[in-house]
Chains A and B, each alone.
Chain A
Amino acid sequence: MVSVSMAVDLGGIKMRNPLNTASGTYGNGWQFEGFYDVGATLGAITCKGVAAEPWDGNPAPRLAELRGSAIMNSVGLQNPGIPAFVDLYGSYLQGLRDRGCQVICQVAGHSIDEYVRAIELYEELAPFASGFEINISCPNIAAGGAAMGATPAAAAEVMAAVRPRTSRPLVVKMAPHDVAEIGRALESEGADALSLINTIPGMAIDVRTRKSRLSRPTAGVSGPAIHAIAVRMVWECAKAVKIPLCGIGGVASGEDAAEMILAGATAVSVGTANMCEPTCVPRILAELEQWAQEQGVNDINELIGAFEC
């Protein structure tokens, strides 16, 4: 079979193939070097969310396994702050860039000022960043996070504040609700791309103790169980905006990634599957490429949004 061109453009982030990683499930890439050559494989990685200052994250327990192919986490964006992040991982991440893997740095904040400060620090310290992902949808922090992206107006306010601070591509990580309206608001304020969905807030109660199985009452559900919901939201968002999307949610196979692309995603992030099957990315990529070949296209871009209804 003829080879298919797999390169895609996620809002100015030129990826050699559509595969990206969901922030928080992939460390900062180096943890996977024992499994495969990260820089030679992925289109992009999205690093763990980092704020201007260090955050401790939430107390233990931060994780519960659910029945039915899902987990819940409440990590709460534990991070060392941008200066330490750059010191620790900057040279490794520059190496990924040099090997053709784009590096998307994720921006965390409790307030608009903190998002702005984080972008300013990245601009100053992180030449290796191909672009930034603004996380306005973390369900696991007390202030900021999901609240910052809960309405079109709130999301637009964050976007308007960070947009002038960088000329590098800005992706916005969206919460799993109102994706058409919020997507339009972000697009109108200059977002280059949108990534969706973040985890879906859920609860897991230990019925013996009557307490949450995690350290917080609610936490984010992820894994194959949420895939169909994520595909639907990508489709809804794709119909509402012109900027490219990165589809995230329960992707564990080439078929899952293909669904995201047909629903309208330009790129696809692998998340929870990295934790369970750390060798999955090369397999998913091979399966995706085989699917594109079987579809008889020369370029994977022909399949973006090619869902028929």
Chain B
Amino acid sequence: MDLGNVTQYGFEVVSNECVAQDVWRLIVRSDVAQTIEPGQFMNLRVPGDGAHILRIPLSFKRADADDGTVELLYAVVGEGTRRLSAMRPGDSSTLVGPSGNGWRAPAHAGRALLVAGGIGLPPVLAAADLLSALDVDFDLIVGARSAAMLVMPDVEACMASAGDDARLVVCTDDGSAGVRGFVTQGMEELLGERSYAQVYTCGPSVMMAGVARLARKAGIACQVSMERMMGCGFGACACCNVALSEGGYALCCQDGPVFDAEEVAW
């Protein structure tokens, strides 16, 4: 049994800006940058509100160990993230991490396919960093409800490291950017044209279920990053259960958030 390696770090806000509709970019200075791996997450305390006692679990886009900073993208969806968006440069608090298991390197050589829906984008961008460090080429499908909710500068920067002949497919529910429709439609088209060794996906559960189904049908290994309402974020409270295909439950925080799609009971 590995003893817990999750701990508490201080963090200081470097910048915190709205970059798309309800999407914010937060850069924090924190020693967690030295240890956190792509696909792991951290649990932030927003100071100054005793009424809300839980931390906010957030995945991240990129950690810069040299600079000691972590870059996160988050959606303002409720009271906690609204208060987080009010934190200003210089404000400080604590975070708990690095939590969970991150993305794994592809098991087979070949092109990877990355599929991000909504605020599932940041961990997918972290997976892109992992792949480019391994010299693995990838294609990227990004979905959002509308053009206003896309974080295109980050998507375009990601494609710069996607390798030769990389494809980007943007899907929006309302057709205001890219093709109108869900990411699974974009995925079906790409699967018809190219072969992939590995799929990495994060987004709404129903979207990931669709991505997992397509990957399975095509015989491609698929890693999914799950989201759950979380209590502690490090395996102590058993509140963030994910139903397993073999029966029973895993804990999203401790056993995930990255799972093999085949493990999950969709």
Contact = CB atoms under 8 A, between A and B. Distances in A.
A286 to B, nearest CB: 16
A3 to B, nearest CB: 28
A62 B239 contact: yes
Contacts, number: 117
B133 to A, nearest CB: 26
Given A63-B240, A71-B231, A75-B237, 16 more contacts: A27-B235, A27-B236, A30-B1, A33-B4, A34-B3, A34-B7, A48-B238, A60-B241, A62-B238, A67-B52, A68-B51, A71-B54, A73-B239, A224-B50, A275-B237, A278-B8
Interface stretch (B16-24, B135-143, B191-199, B242-250): B242-250
A264 to B, nearest CB: 26
Contacts of A275: 54, 231-232, 236-237
B239 A75 contact: yes
Instruction: Pick the 4 closest A-B CB pairs, nearest first.
Output: A27-B236, A63-B239, A275-B232, A34-B7
A224 B248 CA distance: 32
B228 interface: yes
A191 B210 CA distance: 54
A202 to B, nearest CB: 15
A224 B237 contact: no
Contacts of B231: 63, 71, 73, 275
A240 to B, nearest CB: 31
A41 interface: no
Interface of A: 24-27, 30-35, 48, 54, 56-57, 59-65, 67-71, 73, 75, 78, 88-89, 91-92, 223-224, 272, 274-279
Given A62-B238, A62-B239, A223-B53, A34 B228 contact: no
A304 to B, nearest CB: 28
Interface residues of B, number: 34
A171 to B, nearest CB: 20
Nearest to B53: A276
Contact of B237 (A30, A33, A73, A89): A73
9 contacts: A31-B6, A57-B249, A60-B243, A62-B240, A63-B239, A67-B52, A73-B237, A224-B53, A276-B53
A223 B50 CA distance: 11
A73 B45 CA distance: 20
A91 B3 CA distance: 12
Given A25-B237, A59-B241, A62-B241, A30 B3 contact: yes
Contact of A65 (B53, B96, B241): B53
Contact of A63 (B1, B230, B247, B249): B230
A67 B51 contact: yes
A61 to B, nearest CB: 5
A278 B53 contact: no
Given A223-B53, A276-B53, A276-B54, A60 B6 contact: no
A88 B55 CA distance: 28
Nearest to A48: B238
Contacts of B6: 31, 34-35
Contacts of A92: 1, 3
B5 A34 contact: yes
B1 A60 contact: no
Given A34-B3, A75-B239, A56 B229 contact: no
A279 B51 CA distance: 19
A278 B253 CA distance: 15
B38 to A, nearest CB: 20
Residue of A34, A224, A275 with most chain B CB atoms under a 10 A cut-off: A275
B3 A63 contact: no
Nearest to A61: B229
A213 B9 CA distance: 31
B234 interface: yes
Contacts of B242: 60
A103 to B, nearest CB: 15
A15 to B, nearest CB: 21
